[in-house]
Amino acid sequence: MKLDSIDLRILEALRLRKLEQAGIIAGYHARLAPRRVAAFATVLVEVTLASHRQADFDRFERAVAGIEDILACWAVGGGVDYILKLVARDIDAYQRLIDRMLAAEIGIDRYFTYIVTRTVKEDAPLPLALFAGG
């Protein structure tokens, strides 16, 4: 592909390298159509820890970081400590994962499971217009 002067001006205006170096652009990825790859269950899990010292949070977060089935983990305020998003081949596989997490004694006191039945909206782009003109 040969870039013309308009393409080059667009690239110059975007200044991607500068934005990458500043940490504003955190990375790039390919968006897969996961249901075309394999059948799986998406599960959201609310987790409450038994104890709330910094060491307890650190232990849980280290454990979660090492579990590839967990796609996202958010520390949240409110009635629970964390919300996890994970995938499993099926519900039995999900339960085996939770059983392993409980056996590992990473501080889980309670957990509540929500099986995703249909994705309505996911990974929408950040609405940059909300931050303009601050």
Whole-prediction pTM value? 0.76
Q: Note the pLDDT of residue 55.
A: 97
The residues near 132 (Cβ < 8 Å, ≥ 6 apart) are none
Distance of alpha carbon 106 from alpha carbon 120, whole angstroms:
32
pLDDT in tens, the chain (134 residues): 677 788 777 777 667 777 778 887 887 776 766 666 667 899 999 999 999 999 999 999 999 999 999 999 999 999 999 999 999 999 999 999 999 999 999 999 999 999 999 989 988 877 777 776 65
Q: Which domains does the chain have, with CATH numbers?
A: 34-115 (3.30.70.920)
Distance of alpha carbon 99 from alpha carbon 102, whole angstroms:
5
* Single-letter amino acid code for the residue at 96: R
Q: What is the H or E stretch that residue 14 is in?
A: helix 5-14
β-sheet bridge partners, residue 6: none
Q: Note the pLDDT of residue 29.
A: 72
Q: Note the pLDDT of residue 130.
A: 77
